[in-house]
């Protein structure tokens, strides 16, 4: 049940094992989730089943001027998208590819600056050059997924904003997922981030999911009943499914096979029914029509 064990500190103080940079809990999103839990928002239900979600995804790749031709190629991006699409299709979410664009710019290719809101969940800005890049490339609404790959992200491997209710349209350009290219499907980063699940994990955040280890063994965790409480699991290349129990006084064992854990790519393979419900609830309540 949990978002991460590291808190709003400088990037240099964050754990080198951390996959995501944005980790806090948004009180406004939690309120929206509670409204769904209490049945306040149910207009998208179809005969008791969640309505299918349709999302268009755009991919952006920022590279150095001297990058080799095999740096995050369109073929690699397309393969990564297909994995993303096939995974989310299992949970009633249909993704279509809107386009792939490349930006050759030595400054933008390294994402080294981002400002976070006080809850450590939402990016509020970056350098002028990077903000201009996002504004130039961001299209659509809060229903439109934008994924950015960089040569490097200083201090982390990836992050994706937890969606915040009532964000103004002027902030569209701040909504998206940002990843280092070495977590892209096909990169030789075995056994940890070679199989492309980092993007699946980050898009889970885009749909409103927290980490399964949110809050550790205390509190409300990730606000989902079928993800047992746990503490953060390092991506050490092992998959101790059913045997790792970091909260032994609470029901269940660590979900090391869940996409919202930090275990290695070969381990992560599923969302729970509760996580599917959460993604649908958040999309219709917070993203849809905005």
- Whether the full predicted model's pTM is greater than 0.75, yes or no, is yes
Cβ neighbours of residue 106 under 8 Å, at least 6 residues apart?
Answer: 64, 65
Q: Looking at residue 88, what is its pLDDT?
A: 98
Question: Does 78 have pLDDT greater than 50?
Answer: yes
Residues catalogued as catalytic? 202
Q: CA distances (Å), 12 to each of 8, 44, 131, 268, in order?
A: 11, 43, 22, 27
Q: Looking at residue 192, what is its pLDDT?
A: 66
Q: Is residue 234 part of a domain?
A: yes
Q: Looking at residue 109, what is its pLDDT?
A: 97
Q: Looking at residue 271, what is its pLDDT?
A: 97
Q: Is residue 5 part of a domain?
A: no
For the domain that residue 178 is a member of, what is the CATH number? 3.40.390.10
Q: Is residue 255 part of a domain?
A: yes
Q: Looking at residue 248, what is its pLDDT?
A: 93
Question: Does 42 have pLDDT greater than 50?
Answer: no
Q: Is residue 174 part of a domain?
A: yes
Among the ranges given (35-44, 173-182, 234-243, 262-271), the one the predictor scored with the smallest mean pLDDT = 35-44
Q: Is residue 6 part of a domain?
A: no
For the chain, what is the domain count? 1
- Residue 245: domain span: 11-287
Q: Is residue 4 part of a domain?
A: no
Averaged pLDDT, 118-138: 90
Q: Is residue 192 part of a domain?
A: yes
User: What is the rounded distance in angstroms from the CA atom of residue 47 to the CA atom of residue 153?
Assistant: 44
Q: Is residue 3 part of a domain?
A: no
Choose between 117 and 206: higher pLDDT. Answer: 206
Choose between 206 and 42: higher pLDDT. Answer: 206
């Amino acid at each position: 049940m949990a978002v991460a064990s590291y808190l709003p500190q400088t990037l240099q103080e964050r754990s080198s094992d951390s996959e995501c940079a944005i980790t806090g809990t948004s009180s406004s999103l939690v309120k929206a989730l509670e409204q769904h839990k209490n049945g306040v928002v149910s207009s998208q239900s179809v005969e008791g089943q969640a309505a299918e979600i349709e999302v268009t995804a755009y991919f952006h790749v920022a590279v150095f001027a001297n990058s080799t031709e095999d740096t995050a190629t369109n073929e690699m991006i397309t393969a990564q998208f297909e994995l993303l699409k096939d995974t989310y299709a299992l949970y009633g979410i249909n993704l279509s590819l809107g386009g792939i664009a490349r930006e050759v710019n030595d400054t933008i290719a390294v994402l080294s600056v981002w400002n976070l809101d006080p809850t450590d969940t939402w990016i509020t800005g970056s350098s002028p050059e990077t903000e201009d890049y996002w504004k130039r490339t961001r299209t659509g609404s809060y229903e439109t997924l934008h994924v950015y790959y960089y040569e490097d992200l200083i201090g982390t491997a990836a992050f994706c904003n937890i969606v915040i209710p009532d964000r103004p349209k002027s902030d569209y350009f701040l909504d998206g997922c940002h990843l280092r290219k070495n977590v892209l499907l096909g990169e030789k980063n075995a056994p940890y981030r070679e199989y492309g699940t980092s993007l699946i994990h980050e898009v889970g955040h885009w749909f409103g999911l927290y980490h399964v280890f949110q809050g550790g063994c205390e509190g409300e965790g990730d606000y989902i009943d079928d993800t047992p409480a746990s503490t953060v699991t390092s991506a050490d290349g092992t998959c101790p499914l059913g045997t790792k129990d970091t909260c032994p006084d609470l029901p269940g064992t660590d979900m090391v096979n869940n996409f919202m854990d930090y275990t290695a790519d070969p381990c992560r393979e599923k969302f729970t029914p509760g996580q599917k419900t959460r993604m649908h609830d958040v999309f219709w309540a917070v993203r849809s029509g905005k």
